[in-house]
Amino acid sequence: AEKLPGVKAVITSKDFPQMHNGVLPGDEGVNFHHLSCNIMARDKVLYDGHAVAAVAASTAAIAEEALGLIEVKYEVLPHVTDVEASMRPDAPLLHDDIFTSGVNPKPDKPSNIVQRVQMAIGDPDAAFKEADVIVERSFKTKVVHQGYIEPHAVVAEWCEDGQCRIWCSSQGHFMVRALTSRLLKMEVAQIRVMPAEIGGGFG
């Protein structure tokens, strides 16, 4: 793929900087190691469609042709595709460095459950004692995504002078610049983000 005329670069996760695994002061709660692993598969593919390689070329047709020349060898690992199964204690781990937060005592083994959140209003125990009828049910809900109408896409240009220009539909273009700077270990001054029109704002 790299030798195909018109191909400018072929990259994998090895071309990205290694990031600290943890949340450092000033990171605003962001684990940049996990964020970096989501950009492109690093040692392990985490989900269906997780990118493993990318091609930059002079035309889209050449890039598509180069992608067709890339061969990826996969080792099939134990996995789950069901939410309930993924939460069982014996489930194969997606990340071996995540320990469930919000649980007391703190777990000493990693889990696929990132966090437990429990909410209550009033005195549930007293309410149950006084109730004439008690109905118990388990409720599940799907992930609901915000319904903005612009495409989930971004365009970036790497200029010959070392500058990077990014066009994206976002209310947080300074955040986009800061995260890009950290993930690629570039100076903020090298990155210019142009916010495009947005199809919805939700906070």
Of 169, 161, 166, give the one whose Cα is nearest residue 184: 166
At the second CATH level, the architecture of 1-77 is: Alpha-Beta Complex (3.90)
What does the pLDDT read at residue 122? 93
The radius of gyration computed from the CA coordinates of the chain, to the nearest angstrom, equals 22
Q: What is the pLDDT of residue 27?
A: 64
Tokens of 111: 């889990």
Domain made up of 141-203: CATH architecture = 2-Layer Sandwich (3.30)
Segments making up each domain of the chain, as ranges? 1-77, 78-138, 141-203
Find out whether 57 and 7 touch, Cβ atoms under 8 Å. Answer: yes
3-state secondary structure of 71: coil
184: three-class secondary structure by DSSP: helix
The pTM for the full model equals: 0.77
Looking at the DSSP bridge assignments, the partners of residue 9 are: 56
What length does the chain have?
A: 203
87 closest CA partner among 62, 66, 61, 115: 115
- pLDDT tens digits, the chain, 203 residues: what are they? 999 999 999 999 999 998 888 887 766 678 888 999 999 999 899 999 999 999 999 999 999 999 999 999 999 999 998 889 999 999 999 998 999 999 999 999 999 999 998 888 899 899 999 999 999 998 888 888 778 888 888 999 988 898 999 999 988 899 999 999 999 999 999 999 999 888 888 77
